[in-house]
Chains A and B, each alone.
Chain A
């Protein structure tokens, strides 16, 4: 059974290579109708389906199994399967299967389909690696691979916007990855292990709590960036609108959850029941939840709204994780709420993004004003969208209601338990309810715009309504299959949702039986209805404030706060201008240090002699003497009345030339051997004379 872990990870890789090979063949044929195109598509889909089947086999037969692969990547890789990993492994494999089925039609006109499939499958392997890892090191390894391969999804369309968004995505991923690695180093240093099962005892025995918090924060930055938590959410609203719809579904549905998985692994093992840690995550969650919802309300781009909604829902999940810490040991509600909201959000976003994909596939537009009325007379699409929209808005009898109720109840419990925080938590409860209301408001806005209202352009509306075969049966199956689960989870929460929660809760160290929550009791329904009430009010507000009349037609006004882009406002100037400027100043100075010293020395002590210029003619003596002779000659001519000849060389020049000649001859003589010998003999003669003189003396 242990081998299954490896197969699960290697199989999609093999599939990816096969798909790539088929794509090479297809592009070699160059024809659009090459058989290899079909081979490639079918290979990709089959890989997805087979992977899901494999995951099912592992899930139902390999519970509790573990695998250690020593030596790989330095530290070795560790995998295990518990309830939580099983749930998320299944969710991931399911989502991939559905999106792969959907991709075929969506991307059929794309150029780089082979590349897309290749990276889709590699990311599948990496993501499963993350969710099955039992060691933070392993998590990190797969997490990084996942970040890099998913980059290709964002850049897939290769438009200017896509390249820019992908840049942001990559930057966040790389920076997040580095900070995460830093955190892991610190953890490894203080705790001596990164195995999740050993982290809890090691952390409780650890003396240096300060260091642990720093390490924890580093990992939080890394995982949080991927999850889309405030203030590192910047990639989310940018990447989603430009990525292909099936990729958006995965990015928002499952890749963000990989980040959440990391946050959970840290907070449930190292900071289990830690109040201050809980409060930190709770606050981040609060900002993310409210901020995301607000952005979603303002947006009039279908996919961007969904992206911001993802951000907001991640905030809900983070609030759950935060409440786990705040509530301490009595955190059953928070644990189950977090878990269920993760699963719900993954599945809902899968359906919703694929529906958005259908819109894009047919219209190539995302602006609400332009796609208005697309969904009219398309009952299947309508119902599927409604299932997702109601689910995410937390309407009773839908799946989102269950998890949101649990999260809400956990906050209420927190108010009762902790007196010190009750004020803050009371306020948070209202923000929570308002955010829930906003969820309903923006989903209603989308629903009404796409499925109820008519397009102001009558011709366009007619075209929309006559569209037949706007999606293939395969795509319909993918959407329907994803959407049908949503109400199932909600209508009978005791049957499915509670089971999932029971399975997964041990990951968060919640043991034993948990008494069932009566989801449809009056107190629990109250919270839901308050949210719904707020939502309806807000939607009315939206229609009043965010729609303008233009040529007699109500139009959605773009309220997207462009100026409030944290990336443009803070990150880009800081990272691209201010920091490089400072670094450059320091570098310049040091760079010129050695050269400077050398130059300085060359200019001072080691100055070269001036290169001798062309010698001026003659010397002082020849000038004076020549001038004198010239003067005398002129006087002589004046006295003798001789005429001046036309071309006469002055004595000054003559003498100078003469001198030059002498000097040259001198030089030749001095250099010659005979001159040397001559001097030698002169010396010899002097010596002889001296000796004779001595002899006489």
Chain B
């Protein structure tokens, strides 16, 4: 297919989203139909593109020298674009119902849809400059979403989000300058863009720059100690927290780090250096840290946010192993975690939407009143813990096999961290499940008489996610094979 369609896929949601507040909708349902059609059409376009991959590069603007805004579709981009284009229509459907209780819908949906295009931009970017531009743009378009409720808390959170993101992007910018100056090619190339001679000359400088940019992008991927914006950003409406703060935004960070590590600096250069050990240490710590904080947290969404912090570092742990198998592990966890976390977040959102309850101790006995939501929540909780038969187990297994295979002495500690975190995950997820299913014997169900399952617009996405979790858990072979091909550069 013509590479121009890549740009089109980025453009449609952006333009369509901006148009939304300008059109004078007569009825709410018209707007919803418009939005859903827009998103679905775009997702179909993306999937058609994924299946008939354009080989060439589409250059939108060529500034000067090697500076250009260009799009292309390679293996890594395929995975990320496929993931978000699958999730977006479902999340949009869910948000229709959720947003009935919130104000300023039009602007909300404008930014929500634009974010889709921007995230696709990141995944389809051909070079560092393009990715960087969209990355910055992502911060800006998601900011109003975090601020949406306009409460004092929301404004504080969005301010924090802005400071952290812009600060991080500044560090990433340093990396970009170096890459554009010393790189042989502006495009992403699996294995790195800099020649060995250049790298050998200023080894430690380059490593330092790498670490800088890693932390820069790491802000969005919420690595410790740059994570505190994420739990706070949970004040945003749940569709935002679920899709953006569990998938699109944070995984853009992880995705950018993959690009940086595997496609810019090259793992052959980085493997075995102090930079790798340093980052491994940070990532491993974040894994345990996120879980421990989640155990402590009593606010449902914030607990899930802390869990996201920990799980994002699983992905980064795969990345910093700096082997193809590590990338397979990282990518599989990126995909599977997206399903598990969006599923659990949507359940949390459904609970909040239906009952206005935000804290875990308020959830006693809910399972009997919301059987469907809690059945699905249980599936996602078990998957997050890594119970065999569900998808979380597969990605953890991949990650640990990669760690063992890497022969890196520090990776063994990583395995320990993963297992410890699995244990903590069990604690913080199962306490919710147990509370909901088994309140004490004399629990008075009249106190929660108002609680009931939400309507189909919420349940459909949830069911799809739960089914995907199980399907991926039982037959993960096609996915793993695809990812192996991506990591080997043969896809």
Counting CB contacts under 8 A, is A584 at the interface?
yes
Are B225's CB and A590's CB within 8 A?
yes
Chain A 176-213 residues near chain B, CB threshold 8 A: 178-179, 181-182, 185, 188-189
A595 to B227, CA, bound (A): 10
Q: Which of A36-44, A155-163, A679-687 is near enough to bind chain B?
A: A155-163
Q: Which of A69-77, A369-377, A390-398, A688-696 is near enough to bind chain B?
A: A69-77
- A sample of 18 cross-chain residue pairs with beta-carbon separation below 8 angstroms, ordered by A number, consists of A73-B474, A73-B476, A74-B393, A75-B397, A144-B387, A158-B441, A159-B440, A160-B441, A163-B438, A170-B426, A185-B415, A580-B292, A580-B295, A580-B296, A590-B225, A591-B228, A594-B228, A595-B228
A591 to B296, CA, bound (A): 14
Counting CB contacts under 8 A, is A583 at the interface?
yes
Mask of A104-145 contacts with B, CB within 8 angstroms, 1/0: 000000000000000000000000000000000000110011
Chain A residue contacts of B288, Cβ below 8 A: 583
Are B382's CB and A148's CB within 8 A?
yes
- In this complex, the interface size class of chain B, counting residues with CB under 8 Å from chain A, is 35 or more
Residue from B225, B400, B422, B440 having most chain A Cβ neighbours under 10 A: B225
Instruction: Count A-B pairs with CB separation below 8 Å.
Output: 96
Are B225's CB and A591's CB within 8 A?
yes
Question: 7 other contacts beyond A71-B477, A141-B388, with CB at 8 A cut-off?
Answer: A74-B480, A158-B440, A159-B441, A160-B441, A179-B419, A185-B404, A594-B228
Counting CB contacts under 8 A, is B416 at the interface?
yes
Taking beta carbons and an 8 Å cutoff, which residues of B are in contact with A? Answer: 163, 224-226, 228, 285, 288-289, 292-293, 295-296, 382, 385, 387-389, 393-394, 397-398, 400-401, 404, 415-416, 419-420, 422-423, 426-427, 430, 434, 438-441, 473-477, 480
Are B475's CB and A71's CB within 8 A?
yes
Closest chain B residue, CB of each to CB of A163: B438
Counting CB contacts under 8 A, is A383 at the interface?
no
Chain A residue contacts of B388, Cβ below 8 A: 73, 140-141, 144-145
Chain A residue contacts of B295, Cβ below 8 A: 580
Return B222 CB to nearest CB of chain A, in Å: 12
Nearest 7 CB-CB pairs, A to B? A141-B388, A71-B477, A174-B426, A189-B404, A593-B225, A594-B225, A178-B419
Chain A 219-236 residues near chain B, CB threshold 8 A: none
A691 to B175, CA, bound (A): 54
- Say whether, besides A73-B394, A74-B393, A594-B228, A158 and B438 are in contact (CB < 8 Å): yes
Return A602 CB to nearest CB of chain B, in Å: 11
Are B430's CB and A170's CB within 8 A?
yes
A144 to B427, CA, bound (A): 16
Counting CB contacts under 8 A, is A409 at the interface?
no
Return B279 CB to nearest CB of chain A, in Å: 16
A591 to B224, CA, bound (A): 8
Closest chain A residue, CB of each to CB of B415: A185
Are A590's CB and B224's CB within 8 A?
yes
Residue from A145, A166, A174 having most chain B Cβ neighbours under 10 A: A174
Are A587's CB and B415's CB within 8 A?
no
Return A257 CB to nearest CB of chain B, in Å: 20
A591 to B293, CA, bound (A): 10
Counting CB contacts under 8 A, is A167 at the interface?
yes
Are A148's CB and B387's CB within 8 A?
yes
Counting CB contacts under 8 A, is A175 at the interface?
yes
Within the complex, which residue of B389, B394, B438 is in contact with A145, where a contact is CB–CB below 8 Å?
B389
Are B397's CB and A74's CB within 8 A?
yes
A595 to B401, CA, bound (A): 36
Are B475's CB and A583's CB within 8 A?
no
Closest chain A residue, CB of each to CB of B290: A587
Return A191 CB to nearest CB of chain B, in Å: 12
Chain B residue contacts of A593, Cβ below 8 A: 225
Are B423's CB and A175's CB within 8 A?
yes
Closest chain A residue, CB of each to CB of B292: A583
Chain B residue contacts of A148, Cβ below 8 A: 382, 387
Chain A residue contacts of B293, Cβ below 8 A: 587, 591
Return A528 CB to nearest CB of chain B, in Å: 44
Closest chain A residue, CB of each to CB of B478: A71
Mask of A55-75 contacts with B, CB within 8 angstroms, 1/0: 000000000000000111111
A144 to B382, CA, bound (A): 11
Within the complex, which residue of A73, A167, A590 is in contact with B393, where a contact is CB–CB below 8 Å?
A73
A75 to B400, CA, bound (A): 13
A594 to B215, CA, bound (A): 13
Chain B residue contacts of A590, Cβ below 8 A: 224-225, 285, 289
Return B171 CB to nearest CB of chain A, in Å: 13
Closest chain A residue, CB of each to CB of B476: A74
Within the complex, which residue of A155, A174, A175, A587 is in contact with B292, where a contact is CB–CB below 8 Å?
A587
Are B475's CB and A72's CB within 8 A?
yes
Chain A residue contacts of B394, Cβ below 8 A: 73-74
- Say whether, besides A73-B474, A591-B228, A593-B225, A178 and B441 are in contact (CB < 8 Å): no
Chain B residue contacts of A72, Cβ below 8 A: 474-475
Within the complex, which residue of A159, A167, A178, A591 is in contact with B423, where a contact is CB–CB below 8 Å?
A178
Chain A residue contacts of B382, Cβ below 8 A: 148
- Say whether, besides A74-B476, A141-B388, A595-B228, A166 and B438 are in contact (CB < 8 Å): yes
A185 to B401, CA, bound (A): 8
Return A385 CB to nearest CB of chain B, in Å: 30
Return B472 CB to nearest CB of chain A, in Å: 10
Are A174's CB and B423's CB within 8 A?
yes
A181 to B399, CA, bound (A): 13
A591 to B286, CA, bound (A): 11
Chain A residue contacts of B228, Cβ below 8 A: 591, 594-595
Chain A 595-620 residues near chain B, CB threshold 8 A: 595, 598
A170 to B434, CA, bound (A): 10
A155 to B440, CA, bound (A): 10
A428 to B147, CA, bound (A): 71
Chain B residue contacts of A598, Cβ below 8 A: 163
Within the complex, which residue of A160, A174, A185 is in contact with B440, where a contact is CB–CB below 8 Å?
A160
Return B420 CB to nearest CB of chain A, in Å: 8
Are B423's CB and A185's CB within 8 A?
no
Are A182's CB and B389's CB within 8 A?
no
Are A73's CB and B389's CB within 8 A?
yes
Return A577 CB to nearest CB of chain B, in Å: 13
A185 to B393, CA, bound (A): 13
Closest chain B residue, CB of each to CB of A583: B292
A174 to B430, CA, bound (A): 11
Chain A residue contacts of B226, Cβ below 8 A: 594
Return B253 CB to nearest CB of chain A, in Å: 16
Are A185's CB and B441's CB within 8 A?
no
Are B289's CB and A178's CB within 8 A?
no
Return A608 CB to nearest CB of chain B, in Å: 15
Chain A residue contacts of B389, Cβ below 8 A: 73, 141, 145
- Say whether, besides A73-B394, A155-B438, A583-B292, A185 and B400 are in contact (CB < 8 Å): yes
A266 to B477, CA, bound (A): 28
Chain B residue contacts of A159, Cβ below 8 A: 440-441
A365 to B322, CA, bound (A): 61
Within the complex, which residue of B225, B292, B476 is in contact with A584, where a contact is CB–CB below 8 Å?
B292
Residue from A71, A74, A157, A181 having most chain B Cβ neighbours under 10 A: A74
Chain B residue contacts of A145, Cβ below 8 A: 387-389
A307 to B179, CA, bound (A): 67
Closest chain B residue, CB of each to CB of A170: B430
Return A71 CB to nearest CB of chain B, in Å: 4
A188 to B400, CA, bound (A): 11
Chain A residue contacts of B163, Cβ below 8 A: 598
Closest chain A residue, CB of each to CB of B368: A112
Chain A 27-47 residues near chain B, CB threshold 8 A: none
Return B402 CB to nearest CB of chain A, in Å: 11
Chain A residue contacts of B430, Cβ below 8 A: 170, 174
A606 to B414, CA, bound (A): 39
Are B289's CB and A587's CB within 8 A?
yes
Chain B residue contacts of A158, Cβ below 8 A: 438-441
Chain A residue contacts of B473, Cβ below 8 A: 73
A157 to B439, CA, bound (A): 11
Closest chain A residue, CB of each to CB of B405: A189
Chain B residue contacts of A155, Cβ below 8 A: 434, 438
